[in-house]
């Protein structure tokens, strides 16, 4: 049975090295924060499971095959009538990325409270929740809250990545959804400033961490991109510089890889400090390849590097 379960949306990603208006060829892969975190943890050796819907379109066999190949349990994935979400990702002429999403009304947006199986959740150890899953529809937001409540009732650890996306909802709606979920959250994993500004109206890491602990969150893991990350348990605080493994190719999925690595470490009995190092290494390797999961590392590579690193306490 899974040790980590996540709930959310898995997207078909179609990538081109040319601007969308000129592109003639797209490479296919999968993405989505709730999926990416499971891949990161699974490749490190943690048993994982997914709660989502797949649409019954021609992409469904590819989705299921990929989930199976990543050793992610699919027993709580429903196939419903409709289409699967698609994200077109391309490189613009100035080098920046552009994104076009087709997700409104997709199969994943139809997740609802009745899809949440308490028996399935009760056998796990961590329930991971995503702000994107909350944002894609009202029924999905209600389902995420139900999953968190059931996890708390069954003594699971609840982790939460708010992952704010302005294309999906307003600051106020996102903050309201966050506050609704926070009473059930043990590990909160926001990004600064992408999450902290819309949700806490601040880019001050110490202020954000303090606010989170005052809401009752035990562990705060604040990711800051190229600046690094801060881990706080309320008593001690640790800082991490980014782990540089090789040339940076694509930062997509770095945060998810980091967070999946942290959750894996905690489930492996490691301290929060060492778990953060595992996440840091995983993220550093992930950004050396194209796409959210293509370069996500496996256990042996990460643990060999882990032996050489140390964490700094503030």
Computed over its alpha carbons, how large is the radius of gyration of the chain? 18
CATH number for the domain that contains residue 132: 3.40.1190.20
Quote the number of domains for the chain: 1
**What number is the average pLDDT over the span 195-208?**
97
b/e per residue, 81-110, with b = 16+ CB within 10 A?
A: ebbbbbbbbbbeeeeeeeeeeebeebbbbb
Residue 256, domain extent = 4-313
| pLDDT bracket for residue 312 (50, 70, 90) | low
How many whole angstroms separate alpha carbon 95 and alpha carbon 250?
11
pLDDT digits (tens, 9 = 90+) for 131-143: 999 999 999 999 9
Tokens read off for 190:
């926001």
Compute φ and ψ for 109, nearest 5 degrees. -70, -10
Q: Across the chain, what does the average pLDDT equal?
A: 94
- Its pTM stands at 0.95
Give me the residues paired with residue 6 across strands: 50, 128
Share of the chain above pLDDT 90, in %: 85
pLDDT of residue 311: 60
Helix (H, G, I), strand (E, B) or coil at 146: helix
CA–CA gap between residue 146 and residue 157 (Å, rounded): 14
Examine the pLDDT at 96 and tell me if it is beyond 90: no
pLDDT of res. 292: 84
Extract the tokens encoding 302.
């990460």
Q: Is the dihedral of CA 267, 68, 256, 134 positive or negative?
A: negative
Mean pLDDT value across residues 52-75: 97
Residues 207, 208, 211, CA angle at the centre, nearest 5°?
85
Residue-wise pLDDT for 211-245, tens only, equals: 999 999 999 999 998 899 999 998 889 999 988 88
Residue 95, by phi and psi: left (phi above 0), alpha (psi -120 to 50) or beta? left
Mean pLDDT over residues 70-78, rounded? 97
Share of the chain above pLDDT 70, in %: 98
**Cα–Cα dist 200/191, whole Å:** 11
Residue 127: the pLDDT is 98
**pLDDT for the residue numbered 314:** 52
- Reported as a single tens digit per residue, the pLDDT across 122-165 is 999 999 999 999 999 999 999 999 999 999 999 999 999 999 99
pLDDT tens, residue by residue, 7-58: 999 999 999 989 999 999 999 999 999 999 999 999 999 999 999 999 999 9
């Amino acid at each position: 049975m899974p040790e980590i379960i996540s709930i959310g949306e898995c997207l078909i990603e179609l990538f081109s090295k040319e601007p969308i208006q000129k592109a003639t060829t797209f490479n296919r892969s999968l993405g989505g924060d709730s999926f990416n975190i499971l891949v990161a943890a699974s490749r490190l050796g943690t048993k994982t499971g997914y709660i989502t819907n797949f649409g019954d379109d021609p992409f469904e066999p590819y989705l299921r095959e990929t989930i199976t190949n990543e050793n992610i349990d699919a027993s709580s994935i429903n196939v419903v009538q409709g289409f699967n979400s698609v994200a077109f990702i391309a490189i613009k002429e100035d080098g920046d990325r552009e994104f076009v999403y087709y997700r409104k009304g997709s199969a994943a947006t139809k997740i609802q409270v009745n899809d949440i199986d308490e028996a399935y959740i009760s056998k796990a150890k961590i329930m991971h929740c995503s702000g994107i899953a909350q944002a894609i529809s009202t029924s999905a937001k209600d389902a995420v809250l139900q999953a968190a409540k059931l996890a708390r009732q069954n003594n699971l650890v609840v982790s939460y990545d708010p992952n704010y996306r302005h294309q999906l909802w307003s600051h106020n709606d996102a903050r309201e959804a966050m506050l609704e979920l926070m009473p059930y959250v043990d590990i909160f994993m926001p990004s600064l400033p992408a999450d902290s500004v819309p949700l806490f109206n601040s880019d001050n890491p110490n202020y954000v961490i303090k606010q989170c602990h005052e809401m009752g969150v035990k562990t705060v893991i604040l990711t800051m991109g190229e600046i690094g990350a801060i881990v706080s348990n309320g008593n001690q605080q640790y800082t991490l510089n980014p782990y540089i493994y090789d040339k940076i190719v694509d930062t997509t999925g770095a945060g998810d890889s980091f967070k999946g690595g942290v959750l894996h470490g905690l489930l492996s009995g490691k301290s929060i400090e060492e778990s953060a190092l595992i996440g840091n290494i995983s993220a550093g390797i992930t950004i050396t390849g194209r796409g959210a999961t293509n370069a996500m590392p496996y256990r042996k590579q990460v643990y060999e590097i882990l032996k050489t690193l140390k964490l700094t306490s503030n």
